[in-house]
A and B are shown apart, each in its own frame.
Chain A
Amino acid sequence: MKVSKHILLLLALLTAGAFSGCQKEKNIIYDVNDVNVNRPEGNKDYVKSLAEFISIAYTDLFGQNISQSALQTLSVPYSGFGDLKLIEDMIIKNFLNSPSAIVPSNTDMRANVDQFIMETYQKFFNRNPNEFELWHMKNLIEENADITPELVYYATMTSNEYRYY
């Protein structure tokens, strides 16, 4: 008799527990927003056309739009040689040799390397450098006295990323 009382009590407790466990699940929201993960170098899916490359490079270095006649002149070697990167390399070196090219002085660059790198990335890659890029480029510039702003511009403007938008 004593045993059956205990069994009844246990059953009653289990039943009560079962009903109390059927509560609606709470919608818990943690305090973290969704984040879209983008490439640090941005999504650049298109290769610049001949005219785009020349006119953008011209504007980047001379601070003004290229004239139609200058664009036509620069297009000639572009269409007459198969290795476009080689021609672009030569065009950029010719631009950099012009006294009209707007390039910061070496003193200015070395006075604030961080700022120079940030501005260079913005100007040519249309984005900020990530922390690693900033650290790497800063190290490279500070450890090599031979690196001039022209040299950085030349390397940037002949890189693959500069050929895309």
Chain B
Amino acid sequence: MKRRGFIKKATAATAGAFSAPYILPSGRLFAATGTRVVDHVVFCLFAGGVRNLESVHKADGNLMPNTLLGNESISSDIAAGVTPLGQVGGQRLQEMGTLYKEFRFAQGPTGHFSGHSSVMTGVYNLADINIRQRPATPTIFEYYRKHTNPTANATNAWWVSNALGPYPALNYSSHPDYGALYGANYIQPASIISQAGYDSLGNPKTFTQNQHDLVGEMRGFFDNNFSSQTLAGDAGITNAISDNPAVQQFLLDSFQEAVAGQYTNPWGLGGMSGDMFNVFFAEKVIERFQPELLVVNMQDVDVCHTNFTSYANNLMRADYAMAHLWQTIQNTPGMANNTIMIALPEHGRNAQPNTVVDPYGRYALDHTNDEMSREIFCLVAGPSGKVVQNQLISQVQGESIDVVPTIAKILGFYDEISGMLTGQPLNAAVV
């Protein structure tokens, strides 16, 4: 090639490199990440099946006094079975954001997993659900990790679940373009922070830093030799090697705190319900990792299948736990005034009761796809100037599948995934 030709081609190639979008090793091609509203989202699935009648309509009094304004007294016939827990903070959560009173879980079976899956993927499950399989469409965690620039580590995305069964599968999908590589750290605290968990993991052999480095060298050698046979995502999500010690230490510290009795009554309420413990552990994750996206759920209200009054009581506990979660966020450097919390039930409950009567004479309620079991609320709370404060939207507005686009908008990647979603960001709430 002549010198002049070489210079001409080289110049063109250099100019092209600067003007072309950057291509990641993963093959992802992106423009600059969009503007964020805040840097953290905590999504609280106020789940288990909560009817609007008992929550935002307060038909039996204000069973969510930390969330909802008003001092309506508890219905006298069930009052003895409902224990008030008091106020966590000075303000109600409703005042710190926008409350959609008539949100809808519009389509798909009103089952717990179906509801969880729909709200975490932004897609209604209209076909039969195979609870042994991961969702076919990406979860919010995968959207977040893949479309955040630079790609977010797994320690930035957590799914804290109160149950095993199919729920672990919600930390990533089987979508070929997403999957385990972009999944969230899944944890079910009630099982892992237990005697069995401690016996299995709580007393590890310790090595010096130099020995850890040597292990890394040997393991790297073994893995390189075996790389042609290793399947991507074969071990679920994997934390970055540099994050592994911190995650392991987090688990070990949790065991130590549990053994020291610090998990027995940490909120000074005389004990912790399953919901409370799950939220409490989510708070531990928040304090340790300050994740950019954390999803935590509660489901104790589902006792309503057999006991309405316990449902009302657990609704009050869930309300307390959610307010405590909010308070922890506000006390965590980095997340205070930089976090939006979204809360909603996965579905409601039927208008008509079943035949089971509790000790207070109330009939129990199932959730079998009737109109009322699709009626839910949605709370979006956050800093002033980021979330519209003290706003009550009473008309029918918003659906479960709008949560994923809303989180995407808050964290600045909605434009990149909007074509894959049918829901819309909750623009009435987020500034």
Contacts and interface: CB of A to CB of B under 8 A. Distances in A.
B214 A144 contact: yes
Interface stretch (A7-15, A39-47, A108-116): A39-47
Interface in A71-110: 72-74, 76-77, 79-91, 93-94, 96-97
Contact of B185 (A44, A83, A89, A164): A83
A126 interface: no
Size band of the interface chain A makes with B: 35 or more
B204 A83 contact: no
Q: Classify the interface of chain A: helix, strand, loop or mixed.
A: helix
B136 to A, nearest CB: 19
A84 B191 contact: no
A133 B187 CA distance: 37
Interface in B124-142: none
B204 A85 contact: no
A72 B431 CA distance: 50
Contact of A83 (B215, B222, B237): B237
Given A76-B196, A160-B230, A140 B191 contact: no
A89 B244 contact: yes
B155 to A, nearest CB: 10
Size band of the interface chain B makes with A: 35 or more
Contact of B188 (A80, A94, A151): A80
Contacts of B239: 83, 86
B225 to A, nearest CB: 6
Given A73-B196, A73-B200, A86-B238, A151 B215 contact: yes
A161 interface: yes
B2 to A, nearest CB: 47
A157 B225 CA distance: 15
A54 to B, nearest CB: 9
Interface string A132-165: 0100110010001011101110111011110110
27 contacts: A39-B228, A40-B225, A41-B226, A76-B194, A76-B200, A80-B188, A80-B189, A82-B186, A83-B185, A84-B236, A85-B235, A86-B248, A90-B251, A91-B200, A91-B201, A93-B206, A94-B200, A94-B201, A94-B204, A137-B218, A140-B214, A140-B217, A150-B205, A152-B218, A154-B207, A159-B219, A159-B226
Interface of B: 154, 159, 164, 168, 171, 183-192, 194, 196-197, 199-208, 210-211, 214-215, 217-219, 221-223, 225-231, 234-239, 244, 247-248, 251
